[in-house]
Structure 1
């Protein structure tokens, strides 16, 4: 059975705000490696629309090798987008989900292949509630945003995790690898 890996960046004060963090080469390489471990990534509308930046980098590289390599991997990786408002998608490697999140993930898990990646706050929260996350990777950046979307907003009933390992970066960011405790 394929593994569902939920991975997200957040600030020290618990917010998911991509504008509050500045990923360096080491962080881009980390996420390029993670993307290479999967063969599909699931997004909600908001994160998907943020990720639409990467095809522009493929067309007009920045000159930053880690960022440009990440862009190529991101551009090629198949994406499924869960949205109630988007009617169409232009990114060639993306498609709108035509089934529920639970149905989609349950079907994908039964198919042969590599990891199923999840990189969207809203989708991660839904999958955690459905007990469909096999590994949770939380990258905490040494920044205080002060406001934004809290990662665990409206979580009821509590969630427990077992720490598997950590990975530290020169920037001070740390990835915590967790197994959800069921």
Structure 2
């Protein structure tokens, strides 16, 4: 059975703002490796449209190899997009889901293959409520944003997690790996 892994960046105060973090070469390679070892990634419309930025680096590579390698990895991985407004994806490796998030994830989990990544805040919240996240990988940047959208907004139920691993980056970011704990 495939695992559903929510991998997400956040600030020390729990804010999810892609402009608040400070990704560096080491973090780009970390996420490139994560993408290369996963079977698919799930996105909501907003995050999907933000990720389309990486297509520009395929056409016009940057001076940073780590960013170019990430662009290649994000281009290759199959993307399933959940949207009520998009009519098409305009990305060869992306498809719109015609099912509910719960139906799609339950079917994907039953298939053989590599793990399923979740890369959108809204989908993480929905899947947490449905109890369908197997592992959280939270990359916490040493930044206090002070304002913005908190990752776990609108979650009312207590959730106990078990820390299974940590990874510290030279720039001060830390990825905490959690699985659901008992209780």
After TM superposition, the structure 1 stretch with the greater mean CA deviation from structure 2, 42-51 or 82-91, is 82-91
Match of 1:176 in 2: 176
SS at 1:137 equivalent: strand
Q: Separation in 1 of the partners of 2:63 and 2:51?
A: 19
Distance 2:94 2:104 in 1: 14
Question: Where does structure 1 differ by over 2 angstroms across 4 or more consecutive aligned residues?
Answer: none
Q: Deviations over 1:131-165 (max 9, x none)?
A: 11111100100011111110010110111100001
Aligned residues: 182
**TM-score (normalizing by structure 1):** 0.97
The equivalent of 1:99 in structure 2 is 99
> Quick check: 1:130 aligned with 2:130?
yes
What residue number does 2:34 align with? 34
Local SS of the residue matching 2:126: helix
Question: What runs of 5+ residues in structure 2 fail to find an aligned partner?
Answer: none
2:71 corresponds in structure 1 to: 71
The whole-number CA distance in structure 2 between the counterparts of 1:52 and 1:16 is 18
- For 1:163, what is the secondary structure of its paired residue? strand
State the alpha-carbon separation in 1 of the partners of residues 140 and 21 from structure 2: 10
Q: Secondary structure at the match of 1:15?
A: coil
* Counterpart-to-counterpart distance in 1, 2:89 and 2:119: 18
Aligned to 2:12: 12
Query: How far apart in 1 are the matches of 2:158 and 2:84?
Result: 27
Residue of structure 2 in register with 1:165 after alignment:
165
- Secondary structure at the aligned position of 1:10 is classed as strand
Cα deviation for residue 86 of structure 1 reads: 1.5
1:22 shift after superposition: 2.2
Task: List gaps (5 residues or longer) in structure 1.
Answer: none
Counterpart mapping for 1:43-122 below 5 A: 43-122=43-122
* Distance in 1, Cα, partners of 2:67 & 2:180: 31
TM (norm. structure 2) is: 0.97
Per the alignment, residue 152 of structure 1 pairs with 152
CA positional deviation for 1:172: 0.4
